[in-house]
C-alpha cells in the first residue's frame, strides 16, 4: 500500500535495509535524496539520527505501525496520511514518459565505493511484469509467499506491482523465520515461491521441516547465487509431484529477473535458462570487444526494456557501466551452450562477495577500514569457511597498521568492532582480519586481490597436502 501510494502521488520509492547502521542509512538517504520517511517504531532511533544528519525534519517521518504498535510521542502514524482528502493518480500512457519517469531508486552493491542508486523507471516495472508474468501464463491460480526483503529488487516487482496487476494472492512475511515460513506455505497452500540458497539450506537441514507440508508448491525458483545439485534435488523432493525448481538470473539493474525457465521446464544442470523476450545480449572480452558466439565465455552485457536507464546522479558509474551501444556491463562471466541454447554463469568479473544471498562490495568495507585512524591501507576479499552451502562467502580483511605504538596496539577484535559499528551485520568480517606489511598492488595502484586469494588458499590447505 505504501509503495503504491508513493507512486500514485507522483513520488519516487526507495526502500532500505532495516538492519542498516546510522552510517549506512545516511549514505542511502543522501544518495537517493530522500525527503520523507516511513519507519517501523523499532527502527526509529537509527532513522531519526540519520534523518537529522541529512536535514530531514522530524515532521517528515511517519510511523509505519501496521502491527498496531504504539506511536512514539512527537510522531504521527502513517495512517494520518489518509486524512488529507483524495485526488486522482498521476497518470501517463506514452512510452517516452514511462521510460524517463523514475518510479524507484533501488540500491545496488557497487564495485567502487558505497552502494549506488539505480533509477528504475515506470517502463522498467511494466516490462518486468509483462515479460516475466504475462509471457509465461500458468494454468493455476497463483498464491505466492513473500519472505525476501521488501526493499530489495529481488522482491519489489513481484510484491509491489505484479501481484496486483495479475490478480494474484500474495502473503507477506515481515522477515524470514524458518518455522513461520514453513507454516505459512502449508496454511495458505502456496503455489509459487522464490528461494535464495540460504533459505534452501535452512529448509533441508532443519528437523522441523518434516512437521510441515510443501506439497502445494508447483513452481519454485532460486536466485541471488548458484545452488548445488544436491540441495536442489533435496528440496525439490519436498514439493508437489511434478513441480519444477529452476534457477534464475537477474540484478537490480535489470529490475529483478533477466533470464529464467518457463514454469513447465525443469533443469538440473545449473543453467539460468534463457533471457526474457526483447532482451538483447552481447558477450565481450576484457577490452570490451564483441565476442558473442556459442560456447564462448565472456562478460555478459544486456540491453532492453527492463534494464535501468542510469544510476542516479552518478555520471562516473554510468560511463563505466554502459557501452556506446547502451549495453549494461553486468560483471558476470557467462556462456551459451550451442546444443541446448541454455545460458550458464561461470564466474564473476566484479569483485562482489556473496554472503547469505546478499551482495557485499569490498570497496565499501575498505572505505570503512581506511577511516580508522590507525589503518593506512586495507583490502577485502571473500573467502569460504567450509560452510559455503549455508553461508556462501565471508568478508576477510587485510590491514596495514599505522607505524608507531598506537598502531601496534590495533588487533583483530578492534578492527571488527570498528566495522560492525558502521556496517550492517552481514558485512561483518567473519572471514577474519590479517595484518600485513603491505597490500599487493600493480603498477597503477590496483589491489591484486588474486594474490590475496592465493595466499588464503595456501593458508587453508590441509597440512598433509601442503607437505606434498
The structural domains of the chain, with segments of one domain joined by +, span 10-90, 102-348, 353-460
**Which CATH number is 102-348's, of 1.20.1250.20, 3.90.580.10, 3.40.50.12780, 3.30.720.120?**
3.40.50.12780
**Average pLDDT score over residue span 17-27:** 93
pLDDT band at 359 (very low <50, low <70, confident <90, very high): confident
pLDDT band at 449 (very low <50, low <70, confident <90, very high): confident
| d(C-alpha 404, C-alpha 401), whole Å | 9
Residue closest to 265 by CA, chosen among 231, 228, 219: 219
198-255 pLDDT per residue, tens? 888 889 889 999 999 999 999 999 988 777 788 888 999 999 999 999 999 999 999 9
| d(C-alpha 105, C-alpha 151), whole Å | 10
pLDDT given for residue 466 in this prediction: 43
pLDDT band at 463 (very low <50, low <70, confident <90, very high): very low
Burial string for 301-310 (b: 16+ CB within 10 Å, else e) reads: bbbbbbbbbb
pLDDT given for residue 468 in this prediction: 40
Own/partner contacts of 319-325, CB < 8 Å, gap of 24 or more, are 320/112, 321/253, 323/284, 323/288, 325/282
Q: Does the pLDDT of residue 357 top 80, yes or no?
A: no
Look up residue 196 and give its three cell numbers.
535464495
| d(C-alpha 211, C-alpha 329), whole Å | 45
pLDDT band at 442 (very low <50, low <70, confident <90, very high): low
Stated pTM of the model:
0.82
**347-356, 365-374, 453-462: which is most confident:** 365-374
**Measured torsion, CA atoms of residues 411, 415, 416, 418, in degrees rounded to the nearest 10:** 140
192 neighbors 220 (Cβ within 8 angstroms)? yes
Q: Does the pLDDT of residue 113 top 80, yes or no?
A: no
Percent of the chain whose pLDDT exceeds 70 = 95
> Which CATH class for the 353-460 domain?
alpha beta
Mean pLDDT of the chain: 91
Strand, helix or coil for residue 175: coil
**Average pLDDT score over residue span 424-448:** 85
Which of these ranges, 50-59, 68-77, 364-373, has the smallest mean pLDDT? 364-373
Q: Does the pLDDT of residue 294 top 60, yes or no?
A: yes
232 neighbors 87 (Cβ within 8 angstroms)? no
381 neighbors 355 (Cβ within 8 angstroms)? no
pLDDT given for residue 110 in this prediction: 53
Residue closest to 120 by CA, chosen among 160, 60, 165: 160
Q: Does the pLDDT of residue 388 top 60, yes or no?
A: no
Amino acid at each position: 500500500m505504501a509503495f503504491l501510494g508513493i507512486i500514485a502521488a507522483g513520488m519516487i520509492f526507495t526502500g532500505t535495509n532495516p538492519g542498516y547502521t546510522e552510517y549506512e542509512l545516511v549514505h542511502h538517504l543522501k544518495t537517493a535524496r530522500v525527503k520523507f520517511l516511513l519507519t517501523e517504531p523499532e527502527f526509529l532511533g537509527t532513522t531519526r539520527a540519520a534523518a537529522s544528519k541529512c536535514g530531514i525534519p522530524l515532521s517528515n517521518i511517519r510511523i509505519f505501525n501496521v502491527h498496531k504498535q504504539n506511536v512514539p510521542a512527537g510522531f504521527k502514524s502513517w495512517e494520518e496520511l489518509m486524512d488529507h482528502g483524495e485526488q486522482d493518480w498521476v497518470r501517463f500512457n506514452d512510452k517516452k514518459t514511462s521510460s524517463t519517469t523514475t518510479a524507484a531508486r533501488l540500491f545496488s552493491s557497487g564495485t567502487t565505493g558505497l552502494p549506488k542508486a539505480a533509477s528504475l523507471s515506470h517502463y522498467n516495472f511494466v516490462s518486468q511484469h509483462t515479460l516475466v508474468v504475462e509471457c509465461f501464463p500458468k494454468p493455476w491460480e497463483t498464491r505466492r509467499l513473500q519472505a525476501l526483503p521488501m526493499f530489495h529488487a529481488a522482491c519489489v516487482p513481484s510484491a509491489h506491482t505484479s501481484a496486483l496487476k495479475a490478480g494474484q494472492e500474495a502473503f507477506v512475511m515481515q522477515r524470514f523465520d524458518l518455522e513461520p515460513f514453513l507454516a505459512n506455505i502449508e496454511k495458505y497452500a502456496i503455489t509459487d515461491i522464490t528461494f535464495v540458497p540460504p533459505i534452501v539450506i535452512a529448509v533441508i537441514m532443519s528437523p522441523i521441516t518434516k512437521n510441515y507440508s510443501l506439497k502445494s508448491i508447483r513452481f519454485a525458483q532460486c536466485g541471488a547465487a548458484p545452488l548445488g545439485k544436491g540441495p536442489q534435488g533435496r528440496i525439490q523432493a519436498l514439493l508437489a509431484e511434478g513441480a519444477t525448481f529452476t534457477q534464475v538470473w537477474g540484478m537490480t539493474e535489470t529490475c529483478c529477473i533477466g533470464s529464467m525457465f518457463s514454469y513447465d521446464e525443469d533443469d538440473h544442470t545449473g543453467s539460468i535458462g534463457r533471457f526474457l523476450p526483447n532482451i538483447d545480449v552481447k558477450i565481450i572480452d576484457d577490452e570490451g570487444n564483441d565476442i558473442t558466439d556459442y560456447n564462448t565465455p565472456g562478460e555478459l552485457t544486456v540491453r532492453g526494456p527492463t534494464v535501468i536507464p542510469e544510476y542516479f546522479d552518478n555520471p562516473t558509474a554510468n560511463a563505466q557501466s554502459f557501452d556506446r551501444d547502451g549495453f549494461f556491463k553486468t560483471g558476470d562471466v557467462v556462456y551459451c551452450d550451442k546444443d541446448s541454447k541454455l545460458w550458464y554463469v561461470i564466474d564473476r568479473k566484479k569483485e562482489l562477495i556473496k554472503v547469505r544471498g546478499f551482495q557485499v562490495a569490498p570497496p565499501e568495507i575498505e572505505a570503512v577500514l581506511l577511516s580508522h585512524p590507525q589503518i593506512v591501507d586495507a583490502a577485502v576479499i571473500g573467502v569460504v569457511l567450509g560452510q559455503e552451502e549455508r553461508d556462501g562467502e565471508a568478508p576477510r580483511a587485510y590491514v596495514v597498521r599505522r607505524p608507531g605504538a598506537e598502531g601496534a596496539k590495533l588487533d583483530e577484535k578492534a578492527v571488527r568492532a570498528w566495522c560492525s559499528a558502521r556496517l550492517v551485520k552481514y558485512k561483518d568480517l567473519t572471514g577474519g582480519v590479517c595484518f600485513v606489511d603491505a597490500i599487493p598492488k600493480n603498477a597503477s595502484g590496483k589491489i591484486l586481490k588474486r594474490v590475496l586469494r592465493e595466499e588464503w588458499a595456501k593458508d587453508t590447505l590441509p597440512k598433509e597436502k601442503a607437505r606434498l
